[in-house]
C-alpha cells in the first residue's frame, strides 16, 4: 500500500500548490492524507478549502490546534472524512481516527496532539493512542503527531513499541531531515513540513508576524501570499510494516 501524507496546507498558496501538484502524484498512491488545519487563510478548514483538497485527490483531511478556528468545521466534521486530534476531551465533535482501505487492507489513521508547549491541556497522547490501537482492528497504523517538541514525537514512537507502522509529525511547518526507522520498526519523521507560501514566517505574512515578536502587542494575523512549496512524505506499507519513508518537496515554478 502506497500512502502520501501532505503537510499542513497553508492558505491560498497552499491550496494552489495542492491543486497544481497533487493530481500528478495521485495516481502513484493508494491513499492520500492531507493536513488541512491552516487551509482557510492560515486558520482552520472551511468548506471551500475542504472541497479543493478533496478535488485534488485527498482521501482524508486531518486538523490540529487550528481545528476550530473556522466555524465551518463544526458541520464538516460531522459528515466528511476529517479527523481532529484523538486526545481532545470527551464530548469533542468529530473523530480522532479514521480507517481507510486500499488493496483489501485497513490503514488506521490517528492524530494526537502533543502536550508540550501547545498552549492546550489535552489528554495523555501516550495511553490514548495505545488504547485505540488495541481497540480498532487494522492492518497498518499511521500516527500523526501534531506537536512542537521533538522529544515528545520521538518519545511516542518509542513508547508504542512498533505498534504503529509510521509516525509523522506536523505543526512546526518545517520539514525535517530525519526520516528513518526506529529500532522497533516504526518509520518516523519529526515533521512533514508545510505546504504553503515560501516567503513567509511559517506561512504567516512577514511584517505582521514580525510585529508580534517585536512589539509584544496583539497584531492581526495574515497569511502570506506568493509562491508555495509543497511538502509531503511517501510511505510504502508492505508485509505488515512500513518499508519505505520518503519525504519530498516541490516548489511552485516562478
Q: Binding to its own copies by residue 144, rule CB under 8 A? A: no
- Pick from 177, 220, 239, 254 the residue near its own copies by CB under 8 A: 177
Which neighbouring-strand residues pair with 140? 107
* Chain centre distance of CA 105: 22
Residue in 150, 208, 225, 244 binding its own copies, rule: CB under 8 A: 150
Greatest alpha-carbon pair distance for the chain in Å reads 55
Query: Applying CB under 8 A, which of residues 27, 104, 134, 213 lies at the interface with its own copies?
Result: 213
Q: Is 149 in the site for its own copies (CB under 8 A)?
A: yes
DSSP three-state, residue 47: helix
Alpha-carbon distance 192 to 172, whole Å?
9
Is 70 annotated as a binding-site member?
A: no
Stretch that binds its own copies, among 14-22, 50-58, 97-105, 169-177 (CB under 8 A): 169-177
What does 64 interact with, of Fe ion, its own copies, none (CB < 5 to 8 A by kind)? Fe ion
Instruction: Kindly indicate which of the ranges 6-14, 22-30, 46-54, 175-183 contains the residues binding its own copies, using the contact rule CB under 8 A.
Output: 175-183
The verdict on whether residue 38 carries a ligand-binding annotation is yes
Here the cell at position 55 is: 478535488
Q: Which residues are catalytic?
A: 66
Does the annotation flag 207 for ligand binding? no
Q: From CA 110, how far away is CA 99, in angstroms rounded? A: 9
**Identified binder of Fe ion from the candidate list 16, 40, 84, 171, rule CB under 5 A:** 171
Burial class (CB in 10 A: 0-12, 13-18, 19+), 139: middle
Q: Is 154 in the site for its own copies (CB under 8 A)?
A: yes
| 79 interface partner picked from Fe ion, its own copies, none, CB below 5 to 8 A per type | none
Contacts (CB under 5 A) with Fe ion, residues 22-61: 37-38
Q: Can residue 79 be called a binding residue for its own copies (CB under 8 A)?
A: no
Q: How far is the first Cα of the chain from the last one, in angstroms, to the nearest whole number?
A: 34
Measured CA angle at 29 (ends 49, 155), to 5 deg: 80
Residue of the chain from 46, 62, 65, 87 that contacts Fe ion (CB under 5 A):
65
**Is 191 one of the binding residues for Fe ion (CB under 5 A)?**
no
Backbone φ and ψ of 5, nearest 5°: -115, 120
How many other C-beta atoms are found inside a 10 Å radius of the C-beta of residue 74? 11
| Residue 99 interacting with its own copies (CB under 8 A) | no
Q: What are phi and psi of 43, to 5 degrees?
A: -135, 100
Q: In whole angstroms, what is the distance from residue 190 CA to residue 177 CA?
A: 8
Task: Give me the residues that bind Fe ion (CB under 5 A), please.
Answer: 8, 37-38, 64-65, 171
Residue numbers in the known binding site for Fe cation are 8, 37-38, 65, 146, 171, 173
Residue numbers in the known binding site are 8, 37-38, 65, 146, 171, 173
Amino acid at each position: 500500500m502506497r500512502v502520501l501524507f501532505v503537510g499542513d496546507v497553508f492558505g491560498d498558496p497552499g491550496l494552489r500548490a495542492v491543486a497544481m501538484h497533487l493530481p500528478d502524484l495521485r495516481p502513484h498512491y493508494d491513499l492520500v492524507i492531507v493536513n488541512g488545519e491552516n487551509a482557510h487563510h492560515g486558520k482552520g478548514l472551511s468548506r471551500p478549502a475542504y472541497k479543493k483538497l478533496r478535488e485534488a485527490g485527498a482521501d482524508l483531511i486531518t486538523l490540529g490546534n487550528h481545528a476550530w478556528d473556522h466555524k465551518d468545521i463544526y458541520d464538516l466534521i460531522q459528515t466528511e472524512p476529517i479527523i481532529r486530534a484523538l486526545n481532545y476531551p470527551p464530548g469533542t465533535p468529530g473523530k480522532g481516527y479514521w480507517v481507510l482501505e486500499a488493496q483489501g487492507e485497513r490503514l488506521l489513521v490517528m492524530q494526537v496532539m502533543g502536550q508540550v508547549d501547545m498552549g492546550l491541556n489535552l489528554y495523555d497522547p501516550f495511553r490514548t493512542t495505545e488504547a485505540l490501537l488495541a481497540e480498532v482492528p487494522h492492518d497498518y497504523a499511521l500516527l500523526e503527531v501534531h506537536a512542537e517538541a521533538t522529544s515528545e514525537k520521538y518519545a511516542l514512537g518509542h513508547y508504542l513499541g512498533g505498534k504503529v507502522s509510521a509516525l509523522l509529525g506536523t505543526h512546526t511547518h518545517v520539514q525535517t531531515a530525519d526520516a528513518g526507522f526506529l529500532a522497533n520498526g516504526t518509520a518516523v519523521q519529526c515533521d512533514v513540513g508545510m505546504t504553503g507560501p515560501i516567503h513567509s514566517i511559517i506561512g504567516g505574512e512577514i511584517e505582521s508576524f514580525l510585529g508580534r515578536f517585536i512589539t509584544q502587542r496583539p497584531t492581526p494575523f495574515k497569511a502570506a501570499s506568493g509562491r508555495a512549496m509543497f511538502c509531503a512524505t511517501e510511505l510504502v506499507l508492505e508485509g505488515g510494516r512500513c518499508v519505505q519513508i520518503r519525504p519530498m518537496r516541490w516548489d511552485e515554478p516562478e
